[in-house]
Structures are given as structure tokens and as C-alpha cells.
Amino acid sequence: MRKFLPLLLLTLPFLASANPAITELSSKTQATAQQQKSPFATIIPPYRATYTLLHKSDPVGTAIRQLSYLDDNKIKYHYETDISWLIFSDKRSETAIIKVENKQVIPLSYDYQREGTGRDKYYQWQYDLAGKTATDVKNNKQITLDFTDGLLDKLSYHLQNRIDLINSPEQKRFVYPVISTRGSIKNYQYLYDGEEELILPFGLVKTIRLKREVLEKKRITYVWFAPELNYLMVKLYQVKAGAEQFEAQLSELEQ
């Protein structure tokens, strides 16, 4: 019997792909495992979204936004971009480890890396909101946080925005206190800006649009979310001083 075990192990993946019942059972098993790691998985299952990045309508790179579940009810939220345009290159990676309790994202750590044309950058922060501290791991420095109610890092607030849209789709104004990579805190505000049907590489989707304006930097960001995809971000467009910066369009979704 033992000598047939390797052959059986090799055959199982084929059987699963050939038999829909086995595939469905496997998917249900994985979903149950994710739910055991975090009850939040029933609201937003693990996914990987790929976006085409455009500059003046020309493709210049790709972006990936991914959510996965870890042990101890922790969630890994990740975003990366890879841009190459003329002599310019830019690769960025952000990873937030968080928890979600009572529909509120609680940041635990935030990592940021950037490399390419110009100066490379790297930041690593750890947060203890209960203890009202944030630790700059790179510089071995700890700061005291006077305000922690609803505090988010520069990546996890995107997930909080999606959660708020799922729970309150009629909401017109969203404000998030966000801690920067230097430890300062600013409010990020998004306002409802209408509905729109988009034709994207992913396909035709109905969306709602939010707008964020930063007056001191003359920057406006528009973000589109698809209710039919559980309010996943499907498009982003940014303008600075009237000039287009970049655009991201959903091209593929795995979940």
C-alpha cells in the first residue's frame, strides 16, 4: 500500500480539477479554514486584484492589491506597483498587518519599500494602540500617540473605506485619521461624487465614485468602487495641478 501513496498524491490534484464536486469541496474547505482564522473572511474573502497602470492612456505598469488571512485573527493587506516609463522606473510595496474588530480596522504593523529611479526608501512601523505608542523600527524610535481612536496607517485606511462602503453604502462622507511614515497624523477625507458605468479591462461594471482633494498639494484623487464586487476598488485616477499623474484600472480578480 505504501508504494502506491506517491502515485495517489500525484493523482489527487488531477482528480480535483477533473471532478467539479471535489473542486467545490476543496473550495469550501479552504473557505472554512479562512473563517476559522478570522470571522471577517465571511465579509471579505481572501483575494488578489491586478490593475493596469496608465499614464496619459498608455500602459506603464501593473499594480496588485491582495488580502490574506493569518493566524490569531490577523490579516495581511498588501499593495505593490511596478512602473516603467521611458527612463523612469519605480517599484513600491506596502504591507499592513491588521485585525478587524467590530467593523473597525486595527493596525498592528506597516512596511513600505520603494526602489527605482531616484532615492530608495524604506519604512517599518509597529503600532500598539492600546498602549498609545508607535515604534519606528528602522530608526529604533518610539513615539507616544495622544490620539488612537480609529487611527489607521497609510494602507489600512483603504480597507476601512471598503468596509464602511459595505456597511453604509448610502454614506456620502468618509474621514480617516492616518499616521504618516514620520509619525504625524492627518485626516484623509473622501466625498461621494456620483455613479458611473465603466468599461475596464476586467469588463463592464457599475460603480460609485469618491473624491479626495488635497488643496495644499493641488492634488485630486478619484476612486471608483463596484457594489457588485462587494465594493472592491476598480479604478483610481489622480490629477495634480491640472496634470494627470496616473490611472489604475482593474484587469483581473482572483478570490
- 29 and 107 together in one domain: no
- 49 and 166 together in one domain: yes
- 126 and 228 together in one domain: yes
pLDDT of amino acid 35: 52
- 119 and 234 together in one domain: yes
- 28 and 53 together in one domain: no
pLDDT of amino acid 36: 53
- 14 and 57 together in one domain: no
Mean pLDDT by 10 residues, the chain (255 residues): 38 41 48 62 96 94 97 96 91 97 96 94 96 96 94 98 97 97 94 98 98 91 98 96 87 96
Q: What is the CATH number of the domain that holds 75?
A: 2.50.20
Question: Could you give the number of structural domains in the chain?
Answer: 2
- 73 and 158 together in one domain: yes
- 29 and 58 together in one domain: no
- 22 and 84 together in one domain: no
Residue-range definition of the domain harbouring residue 240: 38-254
DSSP string, the chain: -GGGHHHHHHHHHHHHHH-HHHHHHHHHHHHHHHHHH-GGGGTS--EEEEEEEEETTEEEEEEEEEEEE-STT-EEEEEEEEEEETTEEEEEEEEEEEEEETTEEEEEEEEEEEEESS--EEEEEEEETTTTEEEETTTTEEEE-S--TT-B-TTHHHHHHHHHHHH-TT--EEEEEEE-TTS-EEEEEEEEEEEEEEEETTEEEEEEEEEEEEGGGTEEEEEEEEGGGTSEEEEEEEEETTEEEEEEEEEEEE-
- 163 and 194 together in one domain: yes
- 26 and 105 together in one domain: no
- 171 and 114 together in one domain: yes
